[in-house]
């Protein structure tokens, strides 16, 4: 390990470079963004989230490069505590780092969002249409009174939902109560305007402005062709790790990438010209090319051997480029660091 005067960021950077691991490989394995890893190695704690997140980043980082997280956190715990004070008192929020959430947490978040939307929409419907319904009900009762000129001016009682009209004797004393069936509304006099329902607000949404091409540009930290548009993609390969395994690849002319692909993880590569791929154990990975059926890499007739590693090119005609891509590289390790 480095001397006692070495900062945490300098210590992490030295240990990573000793093992020949790039910061992009650390980001891929730990799910912490490259931007935050650069801030961690540069000891720029102003750009990092709260202290518990920093300790989590350090734990994932050192575990990936095969160091003991407990030992590192014990040694640099005081350093993290003091440097965490560099952060603003009121945190305005940090973006750019990612955590893998459990499916249950994501489902609960979506469920709460949907329920909140329904509650808001229901409240708006009640507020908009309740006055209109009340006005319509009062207009119907006025029409009944106008259509029956012998009805009393007293409030009209209701029995089992049917209006009841009291007939009055000449002395002014009610003599009988007659239950009337619900009549069809009589034509209202010309002086009484018919009740018109309040027009409903239009449900047609205003079209959103079209996104500019620059806004559609995606980051591609793994050089996997993720920022290509569908029209640009000529070759697409979906790899799945059957066990933890080292992989190395180059898409078109992009920089060479190397890292550990963990069991059951998916790696999708998209290319315009060609894709060159290498693996330490061809029996530990399967693939699908341009929608074809899934097959294990060591069963493909297009697999070749370079520096004791299995290599394959897509399309198969690009096999001659494998030699110039991988022959100058050291063989991939046969052992995989534990998580």
Global pTM?
A: 0.39
DSSP state of 152: -
Q: Are residues 112 and 77 in the same domain?
A: no
**Distance separating alpha carbons of residues 12 and 59, to the nearest angstrom:** 11
Choosing from 86, 118, 141, the residue where a domain stops is: 86
Residue 183 confidence (pLDDT): 53
Q: Are residues 304 and 241 in the same domain?
A: yes
Q: Are residues 174 and 239 in the same domain?
A: no
Q: Hey, how many other C-beta atoms are within 10 angstroms of the C-beta on 175?
A: 10
Q: Are residues 240 and 321 in the same domain?
A: yes
**Domain assignment of residue 229, yes or no:** no
Q: Are residues 37 and 81 in the same domain?
A: yes
Rounded to 10 degrees, the C-alpha dihedral 47/51/56/57 comes to 20
Cβ-contact 258, 247 below 8 angstroms: yes
Strands (E), the chain: 158-159, 162-168, 174-179, 235-241, 245-251, 257-261, 266-271, 275-279, 285-289, 295-296, 304-306, 309-314
**CATH assignment of the domain containing 38:** 1.10.260.40
**Domain assignment of residue 198, yes or no:** no
**Domain assignment of residue 226, yes or no:** no
Say how many domains are in the chain: 3
Three-state DSSP class for residue 309: strand
Choosing from 53, 86, 119, the residue where a domain stops is: 86
Residue 156 confidence (pLDDT): 44
Q: Nearest-CA neighbor of 128 among 202, 63, 78?
A: 202
Residue 138 confidence (pLDDT): 55
Query: Looking at the chain, how many residues does it have?
Result: 339
Cβ-contact 270, 252 below 8 angstroms: no
Where do we find the tokens 């640009």?
232
Cβ-contact 24, 255 below 8 angstroms: no
**Domain assignment of residue 99, yes or no:** no
**Domain assignment of residue 285, yes or no:** yes
**Distance separating alpha carbons of residues 321 and 339, to the nearest angstrom:** 33
Q: Are residues 82 and 16 in the same domain?
A: yes
Domain of 302?
235-326
Q: Are residues 248 and 315 in the same domain?
A: yes
Three-state DSSP class for residue 70: helix
Residue 107 confidence (pLDDT): 57
Residue 31 confidence (pLDDT): 95
Q: Are residues 72 and 125 in the same domain?
A: no
Low-confidence spans in the chain with pLDDT less than 50: 1-3, 90-104, 150-154, 156-180, 182, 189-195, 207-216
Cβ-contact 163, 219 below 8 angstroms: no
Q: Are residues 245 and 317 in the same domain?
A: yes
DSSP state of 160: T
Q: Are residues 80 and 128 in the same domain?
A: no
Measure the CA angle with vertex 167, ends 161 and 168; round to 5°: 140
**Distance separating alpha carbons of residues 315 and 241, to the nearest angstrom:** 21
Residue 151 confidence (pLDDT): 42
**3-class SS string, 79-111:** HHHHHHHHCCCCCCCCCCCCCCCCHHHHHHHHH
**Distance separating alpha carbons of residues 35 and 48, to the nearest angstrom:** 10
264: phi > 0 → left, psi -120 to 50 → alpha, else beta; which? left
**Domain assignment of residue 334, yes or no:** no
DSSP state of 319: G
Q: Based on the number of CB atoms within 10 Å of its own CB, is 85 exposed (0-12), middle (13-18) or buried (19 or more)?
A: exposed
Q: Are residues 113 and 76 in the same domain?
A: no
Choosing from 140, 157, 179, the residue where a domain stops is: 179
Q: Are residues 57 and 111 in the same domain?
A: no
212: phi > 0 → left, psi -120 to 50 → alpha, else beta; which? beta
**Domain assignment of residue 136, yes or no:** yes
**Domain assignment of residue 95, yes or no:** no
**CATH assignment of the domain containing 316:** 2.60.60
DSSP state of 303: -
């Amino acid at each position: 390990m480095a001397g006692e005067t070495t900062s945490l960021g300098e210590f992490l950077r030295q240990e990573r470079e000793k093992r020949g691991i790039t910061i992009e490989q650390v980001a891929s394995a730990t799910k912490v963004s490259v931007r935050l890893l650069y801030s961690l190695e540069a000891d720029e704690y102003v750009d990092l989230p709260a202290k518990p997140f920093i300790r989590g980043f350090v734990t994932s980082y050192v575990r990936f490069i095969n160091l003991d997280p407990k030992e590192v956190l014990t040694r640099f715990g005081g350093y993290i505590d003091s440097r965490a004070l560099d952060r603003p008192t009121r945190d305005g929020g940090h973006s750019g780092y990612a955590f893998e959430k459990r499916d249950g947490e994501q489902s609960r978040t979506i469920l709460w969002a949907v329920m909140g939307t329904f509650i808001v929409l229901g409240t708006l419907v009640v507020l908009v249409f309740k006055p209109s319904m009340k006005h319509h009900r009062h207009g119907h009762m006025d029409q009944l009174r106008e259509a029956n000129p012998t009805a009393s001016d007293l409030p009209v009682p209701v029995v089992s939902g049917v209006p009841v009209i009291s007939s009055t004797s000449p002395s002014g004393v009610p003599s009988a109560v007659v239950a009337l069936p619900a009549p069809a509304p009589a034509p209202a006099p010309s002086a009484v305007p018919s009740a018109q329902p309040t027009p409903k607000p239009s449900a047609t949404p205003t079209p959103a402005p079209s996104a500019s091409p620059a806004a559609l540009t995606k980051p591609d930290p793994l050089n996997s062709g993720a920022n290509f548009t569908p029209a640009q993609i000529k070759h697409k390969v979906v790899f799945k790790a059957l066990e933890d395994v080292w992989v190395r690849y180059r898409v078109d002319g992009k920089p060479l990438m190397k890292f550990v692909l963990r069991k059951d993880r998916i790696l999708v590569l998209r290319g315009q010209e060609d894709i060159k791929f290498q693996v330490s154990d061809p029996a530990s990975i399967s693939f699908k090319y341009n929608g074809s059926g899934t097959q294990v890499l060591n069963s493909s007739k297009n697999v070749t051997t370079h520096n004791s590693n299995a290599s394959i090119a897509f399309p198969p005609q690009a096999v001659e480029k494998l030699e110039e891509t991988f022959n100058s590289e050291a063989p991939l390790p046969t052992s995989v660091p534990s998580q």
